[in-house]
């Protein structure tokens, strides 16, 4: 067992400092004080971090610490900590370690009995959760899904029966594909796309997975939230609906009529099903 008294230690400390996710006013006075007090600041991209730090007139030695050099950099940071130097770890935006590097150095510092202290600040997942309108009492933050669709299907399948609001980070070039995959795996649940949080073009889009999957103009940093599983959920397989419509069309029925009939059969909005069908029939 290890007990850490964060404010009584006199030796070196590893600080985990949350940085703004958009609005620079999010950087707290305490964060600024800590960043000014340490000997070194470890960051994902020294160029991005230098811009932020210069804005607040903070001038410190910057050390690169990112996914591609984490193992090597951890050793270097530990040498500095063991030599009595305090270090602040920051990410490009938000909390270090939350879908960002930092786990290795935190574990190494703990093992060496060096205090690890979090400096509170912005977090996109929590910002999105509290404005989503979905259940915020119980939730699961998953982070980024795999870039491969087959892997995403497996990941979402493993989460399908969890009764918690699911929170994901997603890139703009993948969000539409992710929404369609989620619709197929999870069924047409309520969902929210929160993008560009705290920035000028912040937008919160609330709807269901079917309606959200029809959007094609989503840009910027995105948080996707999906309603948790309910015992009476009926998961509709949209690939079967598409096949059903195609089969009717091949018999000579007009696509519009086949879609209307399918919408009634599966109790789905005919307008949304019409748009979904024509967006996906050739994919």
Q: Is residue 90 part of a domain?
A: yes
Q: Is residue 9 part of a domain?
A: no
Domain boundary residue, one of 89, 119, 149:
119
Q: How many domains does the chain have?
A: 3
Contact 222, 199 (CB under 8 A): no
CA distances from 233 to 4, 105, 135, 175 (A): 45, 42, 16, 24
- pLDDT < 50: residue spans in the chain: none
**How far is C-alpha 190 from the chain's CA centre?**
18
Same domain, 45 and 70: yes
Task: Choose among 47, 26, 53, 30: nearest CA to 199.
Answer: 26
Same domain, 84 and 131: no
Q: Can you state the angle between helices 175-186 and 238-250, rounded to 10 degrees?
A: 90
Q: For residue 202, give the DSSP letter.
A: -
Q: How high is the pLDDT of residue 234?
A: 66
Domain boundary residue, one of 95, 119, 143:
119
Instruction: Give residue 258's domain range.
Output: 238-280
Domain boundary residue, one of 201, 226, 251:
226
Q: How high is the pLDDT of residue 44?
A: 92
Residue 139 bridge partners (DSSP): 165
Q: How high is the pLDDT of residue 280?
A: 79
Residue 182's contacts (CB-CB under 8 Å, 6 or more residues apart) are 156, 191, 209, 224, 226
Cα angle value 168/172/177 (rounded, 5°): 75
- Which element (helix H / strand E) includes 14? strand 14-17
Residue 67's contacts (CB-CB under 8 Å, 6 or more residues apart) are 101
Indicate whether this model's pTM tops 0.85.
no
Q: Tell me the residue ranges of DSSP E strands in 19-78.
A: 40-43, 61-64
Three-state secondary structure call for residue 35? helix
């Amino acid at each position: 067992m290890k007990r850490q008294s964060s404010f009584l230690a006199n030796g070196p400390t590893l600080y985990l400092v949350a940085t703004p996710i958009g609005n620079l006013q999010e950087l707290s006075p305490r964060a600024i004080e800590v960043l000014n007090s340490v000997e070194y600041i470890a960051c994902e991209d020294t160029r991005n971090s230098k811009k932020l730090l210069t804005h607040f007139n903070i001038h410190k030695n910057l050390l690169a610490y990112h996914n591609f050099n984490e193992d090597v950099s951890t050793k270097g940071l530990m040498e500095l900590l063991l030599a009595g130097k305090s270090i602040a770890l920051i990410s490009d935006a938000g909390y270090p370690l939350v879908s960002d590097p930092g786990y290795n150095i935190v574990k190494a510092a703990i093992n060496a009995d060096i205090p690890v202290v979090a400096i509170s600040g912005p977090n996109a997942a929590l910002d999105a959760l509290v404005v989503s309108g979905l259940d915020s009492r119980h939730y699961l933050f998953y982070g980024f899904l795999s870039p491969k669709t087959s892997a995403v299907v497996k990941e979402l399948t493993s989460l399908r029966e969890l009764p918690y609001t699911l929170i994901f980070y997603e890139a703009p070039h993948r969000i539409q594909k992710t929404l369609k995959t989620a619709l197929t795996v999870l069924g047409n649940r309520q969902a929210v796309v929160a993008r560009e949080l705290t920035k000028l073009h912040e937008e919160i889009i609330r709807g269901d997975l079917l309606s959200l999957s029809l959007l094609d103009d989503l840009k910027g940093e995105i948080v996707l939230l999906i309603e948790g599983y309910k015992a009476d959920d009926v998961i509709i397989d949209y690939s079967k609906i598409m096949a059903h419509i195609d089969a009717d069309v091949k018999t000579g029925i007009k696509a519009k009529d086949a879609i209307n009939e399918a919408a009634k059969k599966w109790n789905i909005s005919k307008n949304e099903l019409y748009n979904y069908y024509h967006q996906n029939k050739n994919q």
